[in-house]
Structure formats: C-alpha cells, structure tokens
Amino acid sequence: MALALFDLDNTLIDGDSDYLWGCFLVEHGIVDGETYQSENQRFYDQYLDGTLDIHEFLRFQLQPLADHPRAQLEQWRREFLATRIEPILLPRARDLLDEHRARGDELLIITATNRFITEPIAQGYGVTHLLATEPEVVDGEFTGAVSGVPCFQKGKVERLEAWLALNHRNLAGSSFYSDSHNDLPLLSRVDFPIAVDPDEKLRSHAQTHGWPIISLR
C-alpha cells in the first residue's frame, strides 16, 4: 500500500483556508478589521513569496483562537465552512482521491494550516489521516501557542518522518500533490511529485525536473 500525500490549500480546494479564515474573522467583526486584514494580507504575500516566518505568522494567526471560548469558535467555524469552504471544494479533487483509493493507496493530507481549520475539511473529503500545524490546547481551550513542529516547508518533512516511524511505514511508491514551491522539500522526497495548478516557482521547477503538472480546477 503506497502513500498518496496531498497538500490542501490551493491544491484540493480552490483557495487558501488560512487566509479565508482571517477574512471571515474580519468580516464578522471578531478581530480589529483594518489592522488584522492588513497583517493577514502581508503574511499571505510572504507565504507566496517564500519568505514567511512561520512562527511570527502563527503568533498572529492563532491568537483569535485563544481570545474566545472553544464553543464559540466552533460555532463560527461551522458558518465559515458553509460559506467559505464548501463553495471552493473541487469535484476533480474528489475524483483524484477516489482514484487513489481505488488503487489501494493510503491517503494523507499534509498542510501548514492549523488543525482547527483543516480537520473538518479533510473529513469532508473522507481523508482520515491529517498532518497539520497543531494549536496548543490546555483544559480544552486554545492557548494561542503551537504544539510541536509547524507543518510548513521542512517541517512537513519532519512531521511526516515522525508519522512514518510511528506507523512503521515508508515512502516507497509514494506520491505528493501540491501547488506551492514551499512544498519543494517534501516534493523532492517522494517517488512521484505532482504539481497541481502550481505557482510560478513550482511550475518552473516541475518543468525543469520533468514532474507532471495537472489542474484540478
């Protein structure tokens, strides 16, 4: 049974759930609109450029989770999923996941976006295994800190290696689908790297190395 790995944002969904969550918080007056929107955009631009300081971003991005009770956050998340995420789920992504299931592959979503946002999206796609950035939880509430290694760039490789060791698995025959040059460390580790609607840097790298380039849009 080979592993089929999938990035989430701008790969299996037609947008970035991290960024959209920030927009949702602004639109609903949950955070200071002008300041938060400006910072949300700044961090997203840095992500696209490959210059993002993941720890600085997570201090910003996880703070609203610490500022509100878990029950309230989950109520907001239900609305967020219905209004922001369901419209950008991709039928061709579902087809791709089903193709790998039919081959007998084991599916795993691996994403830099935190688990609070991404877990219900993975569940909606029927993917059991999820590696995501983990917000710290104490007594059932978020603290605003990160638990463990952020699942970003080389951190994705580190988190996956730990998962492989724990589950007595390896990367033989593995594939990884991603849109972002930030995932080059992991794309370079699997047997079958596939660029999905890639950014310019990843498209150039994929063309140079003869990697397949596909679209799920």
The total number of structural domains in the chain stands at: 2
Both 132 and 34 in a single domain? no
Both 151 and 106 in a single domain? yes
- 118-133 tens-digit pLDDT: 999 999 999 999 999 9
| Arithmetic mean of pLDDT, 17-29 | 95
Question: pLDDT-based confidence at 33, cuts 50/70/90?
Answer: confident
Which of 37-46, 136-145, 164-173 shows the lowest per-residue confidence on average (mean pLDDT)?
37-46
The reply to whether 9 belongs to the active site is yes
- Say what the pLDDT of residue 34 is: 83
Both 96 and 41 in a single domain? no
- 145-204 tens-digit pLDDT: 999 999 999 999 999 999 999 999 999 999 999 999 999 999 999 999 999 999 999 999
Higher pLDDT, 40 or 8: 8
Question: pLDDT-based confidence at 32, cuts 50/70/90?
Answer: confident
Both 60 and 136 in a single domain? no
| From 7, 16, 179, 183, active-site residue | 7
| Arithmetic mean of pLDDT, 99-116 | 98
Both 45 and 101 in a single domain? no
- Say what the pLDDT of residue 83 is: 98
Both 93 and 120 in a single domain? yes
CA 138 to mean position of chain CA atoms: 23
Q: Are 81 and 88 in contact (CB under 8 A)?
A: no
Both 123 and 78 in a single domain? no
Among candidate residues 159, 93, 87, 80, the one with its CA nearest the CA of residue 126 = 93
Both 158 and 79 in a single domain? no
Both 122 and 210 in a single domain? yes
Instruction: Determine if residue 104 is left, alpha or beta; phi over 0 gives left, psi from -120 to 50 gives alpha, anything else beta.
Output: left
Domain boundary among 31, 54, 87: 87
CA 99 to mean position of chain CA atoms: 21
Domain that holds residue 64: 17-87
Both 124 and 80 in a single domain? no
Write b or e for each residue in 64-103: b if 16 or more Cβ atoms lie within 10 A of its Cβ, otherwise e: bbeebeeeebeebbeebbeebbeebbbeebeebbeebeee
Domain at 29, CATH number: 1.20.1440.100
Both 144 and 192 in a single domain? yes
Please determine, for residue 4, whether its predicted confidence score (pLDDT) is greater than 90: yes
Both 25 and 53 in a single domain? yes
Among candidate residues 164, 153, 134, the one with its CA nearest the CA of residue 1 = 164
| Arithmetic mean of pLDDT, 15-34 | 93
Question: pLDDT-based confidence at 28, cuts 50/70/90?
Answer: very high
The reply to whether 179 belongs to the active site is no
